[in-house]
Structure 1
């Protein structure tokens, strides 16, 4: 699907290409607002001017949560492209500290952290936000999930809450069980942004997804983008000094916006 010059936008820098006017930001000052929706903390970015007020993109973040500036900037950039976007703090103010996993001596207990943020704890917060947005007139949702958030995109699609699904380097999925369940249960077109080195969604899982959904076998729509030379987390926390990672981060964003324009 080709796009017009202004289809994919961001404020930081420019793509010098025929169709895409600018790239997704990695540094900057977020421009959205923090607000509570049905008691749940959220970061909300609203497009300027006219936009479809009956549509919302749910941004389901990685384990670094709503507080990570990268996630806020991505939320802003989706709004710049015309989608009211709601970044949900389903971690209740308790994300993994952004530097905790970089230092083996940090003492951070990842197992304990996961025990506090099970699906039984986190999913109800998403549902509370969706319920209130529906009361405010939203009738169509899409979801984009990164790592930890990919699990919830699948669950929302299983429950027919969302009209379109995007995941980037998803985790917490059972392979091939969740892929097979998606194929048999979900109706939302599925985009997977994948990469070379990803222990959570490795090449074998990517091949399984293509086998289950590809070649038109999943009627609602399926596409898997592959970003060579990238590692898990590239779509949010990639090293912009690495040209392949920079291209992967921007490519994943572009692919996501294209998917939303096609299906939401």
Structure 2
């Protein structure tokens, strides 16, 4: 494993305030959040794969809107088929049982359908992808430009990424990591570094001090350290796409 299986830190955090400006639509029968840049161009696009709170989470929608404000058309599908994990679910929630219903066999088809729609119908010529926690695994799995999939990838605090999945990437990949993270701890970070070196692809790993798993999407914004880390992780992603996408 390049990162450990998810835990309760994957669905605990702070709900952010704000009003989403994107819109809900459909890709096939999958509800999808779309956010457009001011010029309405869809040529440069980002497929956003959220954490387990899902595409309806205001925090994820606000991030999608931020990418749109930076010139990207953003597509965020419901990879959980209407069954996300509520924010701050009770501690007795059986997360591992929930995960059994959301494996590659159900998630990959949603990602593949979204990518096909983006290329064939929505006019997307360059596609990057962003994955938070759960979503990171699927950025890695589909980072294969030669197969017409994702061209550039970015993730924050990844969970349950298999080593062989990371070994198989075919495009530039960046990671925002938390100093305190039982799912992506130092040893997994270092293992990932060694794997990424061998891929021959451009890569970047930024480590943010004073924060924990989930900071890039569920940080407490009233705390200076976590607010800074969240905002800079986003800027890291934008700069990565500006360079490689």
Task: Note whether the superposition's TM-score is higher than 0.5.
Answer: yes
What is the SS of the residue equivalent to 2:98?
helix
Q: 1:187 aligned to 2:192?
A: no
Question: For 2:179, which of 173, 196, 220 is the aligned residue?
Answer: 196
How much does 1:99 deviate?
2.1
Taking structure 1 as reference, are residues 120 and 218 closer, same or farther at Cα in structure 2, changes over 3 Å only?
Answer: closer
Aligned residue for 1:36?
26
Question: For 1:60, which of 49, 64, 76 is the aligned residue?
Answer: 49
Decide whether the 8 Å contact of 1:40 with 1:129 is kept in 2: no
How much does 1:126 deviate?
1.3
What is the SS of the residue equivalent to 1:157?
coil
Question: For 2:211, which of 212, 216, 230 is the aligned residue?
Answer: 230
- Cα distance in 1, alignment partners of residues 53 and 112 from structure 2: 20
How much does 1:109 deviate?
2.2
How much does 1:26 deviate?
4.0
- Cα distance in 2, alignment partners of residues 111 and 204 from structure 1: 23
How much does 1:212 deviate?
3.2
Structure 1 or 2, whichever has the larger Rg, is 1
Cα RMSD for the two superposed structures: 1.8
Q: Normalized against structure 2, the TM-score is what?
A: 0.87
Q: Which has the higher contact order (CA 8 A, sep 6+)?
A: 2
Alignment deviations for residues 212-238 of structure 1 (CA, whole Å, 9 cap, x no partner): 335xx5543111111001100000001
Q: 1:258 aligned to 2:239?
A: yes
How much does 1:55 deviate?
2.5
Aligned residue for 1:155?
141
Unaligned runs of 5+ in 1: 1-24
Q: 1:172 aligned to 2:160?
A: yes
- Cα distance in 1, alignment partners of residues 28 and 43 from structure 2: 18
- Cα distance in 2, alignment partners of residues 261 and 133 from structure 1: 19
- Cα distance in 2, alignment partners of residues 91 and 172 from structure 1: 16
Decide whether the 8 Å contact of 1:148 with 1:170 is kept in 2: yes
Decide whether the 8 Å contact of 2:79 with 2:107 is kept in 1: yes
Unaligned runs of 5+ in 2: 1-14
- Cα distance in 2, alignment partners of residues 260 and 45 from structure 1: 17
Q: 1:80 aligned to 2:63?
A: no
Alignment deviations for residues 69-124 of structure 1 (CA, whole Å, 9 cap, x no partner): 10000000000000000111111111001120xx32xx422122111111101110
Aligned residue for 2:127?
141
